Amino acid sequence: MAEITRRADDYSRWYQDVIQAAELADYSPVRGCMVIRPNGYAIWENIQRVLDDRFKELGHVNAYFPLLIPKSFLAREAAHVEGFAKECAIVTHSRLKTVLVDGKTTVVPDPESRLEEELIIRPTSETVIWDMYRKWIQSYRDLPILINQWANVVRWEMRTRLFLRTTEFLWQEGHTAHATAAEAREEALRMLEVYRWFYEEVMAAPVIAGAKTANERFAGAVETYSVEAMMQDRKALQGATSHDLGQNFARAFDVTFQDAEGARDFVWATSWGLSTRSIGALIMTHSDDNGLVLPPRLAWRKAVVVPIWKNDGEMSATVEAGRALAAALKPVAGVVPVDDRDKLRPGGKYTEWEQRGVPVRFEIGPRDVAAAQCVMVSRHDRKKTPVPLAGAARALADELARIQADLLRLAQGRRESATVRLERWDDFRALYEAEGGFAWCHWCGDGACEARIQEETKVSIRNIPLDREAETGACIRCGRPSAGRVVFAQAY
RNA sequence: CGGGGCGUGGCGCAGCCCGGUAGCGCACCUGCUUUGGGAGCAGGGAGUCGCGAGUUCAAAUCUCGCCGCCCCGACCA
């Protein structure tokens, strides 16, 4: 069984150990890419299910656009090319041919198959989608278009970490088209709220919803919003983003429509996305030195039954009782595995299921069978509760609700204890030379000042909270007037 | 791309300095004993020592070249 480095000893190794121990992902033969293993992919499937249902309730539909994009598309929108040019994978040839090098057969791109126009592998899909929207949109009656796609994208990053930053990652990207600026802005904020809801109610991870500063804005957006979560090492992680793209992409791809009065205007746009990075956030928000901790709403298995025995007779009795228990739990928890392996003793099984983050474990031994009960143990706090077999399903439903609420409450507590309001630059520096965290501070609004702070301390403005209170003050760095506080943190 | 580290059974490592039968822990297989918090014992299978040259009677070990990976930084969802 896997050993897990303690968080206090080496946070970054702990993170990798948890992923290995829970069998969520593995490194692939290609640098920076990862294999998402069944336990990890099941979490992603749960994320997809919940979000997809929510998107559809709001009127969005799914579609699929191609992986390959003409190279020229990226250059259409000036800021967009600036943002993505440095991390694009490029397809230049359409076939290989075998050659002999030093007596060995190998393959090289066939020079005769060089593409007329090279293709890029999408780093995001705005350009292909807006190229298609030009064909689909003529009239205000064609609007709004509310399309989402579940897809993979590739961004050639210098340094990667499992889930948090991989060369290829999975995400959903919503791309909407609207007749007015106000409608687009409303959509961007509506989807931001969906992400806030998803993080807090489903992932049990508290977030700050706000607007990004101009420096941190998406390449091609007029406004970028984000939800920002705090990890257990007090660093911030951007959980999802929603962009108001204004008319930038409509202009770049010449997408216009005629309104009811016959006037012609460019279409207003949004895009918004949440990626497999959220699984990294999930791990770093709740997990502990014993391994993965998952909120029940996203757990790939919500419960497991571990029968306990000393001899063959006890084995058949407790395994049988365990199977009956698992069947009774199914309506509440879906498939509940019964761990009847004879190769591991109970303690080994507990450790293994804990490392994998299954929220609730039921232990059932000979004494329990005799008393028609079992012992319910929750993963995150190891609380043990004897439960009559007849009432187990009900007890599990209640326990799963308690765990979900507990995890959010605990994460909120950690975030609060790592959040401060600061007024003086000395205090700011001192905070980030020591333990770090979220600092709510006044800022003058000048991007140059923001950049200087980041240069000096590696601390950035995570966002400008939407619900910040109106309060004037002096910029933490330069002292110039400020209209309100922004949230600073070191970020992943 | 800059700095640091590492490539040896599936995983983690020792052996290298000082060349001479490839080893340890975990995992795996078989058997017996175990089983209410990471089981014990016995036996067994599994490695062209990252790749390529060179030196040598002899290379995991020495020399040169190449490749790859991990960590820290700049970039980023």
Residue A438 in tokens: 């979220």
Instruction: Tell me the domains of chain A and their CATH numbers.
Output: 11-88+123-286 (3.30.930.10), 90-122 (no CATH), 301-398 (3.40.50.800), 419-489 (3.30.110.30)
Residue A318 pLDDT > 80: yes
Q: For residue A192, give the nearest of A174, A180, A178 by alpha carbon.
A: A174
Closest nucleotide over all strands to A169 (CA to C1'): B77
Task: Give residues 5-34 of chain A lying near strand B (Cβ < 7 A).
Answer: 12, 16, 27, 30-32
**Strand B reaches within 7 A of the A4 CB:** yes
Structure tokens at A300: 């790939």
- Whole-number pLDDT of residue A186: 98
Question: What residues are paired with A240 via a beta bridge?
Answer: A227
Residue A101 confidence (pLDDT): 65
Residue A67, CB, strand B, below 7 Å: no
Q: Is A27 helix (H, G, I), strand (E, B) or coil?
A: strand
Q: Length of chain A in residues, anyone?
A: 492
Closest CA to A233 of A410, A355, A414: A414
Rounded mean pLDDT, A365-374: 97
Determine the Cα–Cα distance for residues A319 and A299; give it in Å rounded to an integer.
Answer: 24
Which residues, including other chains, have CB under 8 Å from residue A384's CB and lie 6 or more apart?
A: A375, A376, A377
Which CA distances in Å does A210 have to A171, A226, A229, A460?
Answer: 21, 6, 12, 14
In angstroms, rounded to a whole number, what is the distance separating the alpha carbons of residues A180 and A224? 18
Q: Is the pLDDT of residue A98 over 90?
A: no
Q: Higher model confidence: residue A196 or residue A160?
A: A196
Output DSSP code: residue A431.
Answer: H
Q: Label residue A26 by pLDDT band (50, 70, 90).
A: confident
Q: Which two tokens stand for residue A301?
A: 């298995």
User: Cβ distance A291 to A357 under 8 Å?
Assistant: yes
Q: What is the dihedral of CA A219, A221, A223, A224, to 10 degrees?
A: -50
pLDDT confidence bin for A167, thresholds 50/70/90: confident
What are the CA-CA distances from residue A307 to residues A337, A345, A370 (Å)? 11, 10, 13
Q: What is the pLDDT of residues A450-489, one digit of tens each?
A: 989 988 888 999 999 999 999 999 999 999 999 999 999 9
Instruction: Give the model's pLDDT for residue A97.
Output: 83
CB of A89 lies under 7 Å from some atom of strand B: no
Handedness of CA A50, A53, A57, A58 (dihedral sign): positive
**Are A294 and A43 in contact, with CB atoms under 8 Å apart?**
yes
Nearest-angstrom CA–CA distance, A283 and A70:
37
Average pLDDT in the A317-333 region? 98
* Residue A99 predicted with pLDDT over 80: no
A361: which nucleotide lies closest, measuring CA to C1'?
A: B37
Positive or negative: CA dihedral A215, A219, A224, A230: negative
| pLDDT greater than 80 at residue A372 | yes
Which tens digit of pLDDT belongs to each residue from A208-217?
999 999 999 9
Q: In the predicted model, is pLDDT for residue A492 greater than 90?
A: no
* Mean model confidence pLDDT for chain A: 93
Q: Given this model, what pLDDT does residue A32 score?
A: 81
Q: CA neighbours within 13 Å on the CB side: how many for A18?
A: 28
Supply the pLDDT for residue A103.
60
- The confidence band for A434, taking pLDDT boundaries of 50, 70 and 90, is confident
Measure A100 CA to B54 C1' (Å).
24
Q: Provide the pLDDT confidence category of residue A5 given band limits of 50, 70 and 90.
A: confident
> Has residue A384 got a pLDDT over 80?
yes
**A220-259: pLDDT as tens digits:** 999 999 999 999 989 999 999 999 999 999 999 999 999 9
How many Å does it take to go from CA A103 to C1' B61?
A: 29
Which strands, in side-by-side order, build the sheet including A61-62? Answer: A61-62, A145-154, A168-178, A268-275, A236-246, A223-230, A207-211, A460-465, A485-489, A438-442, A419-421
On strand B, nucleotides with any atom < 7 Å from a protein CB are 1, 26-29, 34-39, 68-77
Residue A157 has pLDDT above 90, yes or no: no
pLDDT tens readout for residues A179-196 = 999 999 999 999 999 999
Of A103 and A136, more confident? A136
Protein-nucleic contacts, chain A 459-488 to strand B, CB < 7 Å: none
pLDDT at res. A35: 86
- Cα–Cα distance, A305 to A294 (Å, whole number): 17
Q: Is the CB of A159 under 7 A from strand B?
A: yes
Task: Band the pLDDT of A104: cuts 50, 70, 90.
Answer: low
This model of the complex carries an ipTM of: 0.85
Average pLDDT over residues A5-16: 84
The predicted structure's pLDDT at residue A241:
96
Phi, psi of A199 (to 5 degrees): -60, -45
Quote the pLDDT of residue A102. Answer: 60
Helix axes A181-197, A38-57, angle to 10 degrees: 140
Work out whether strand A438-442 and strand A419-421 pair parallel, antiparallel, or are unpaired: parallel
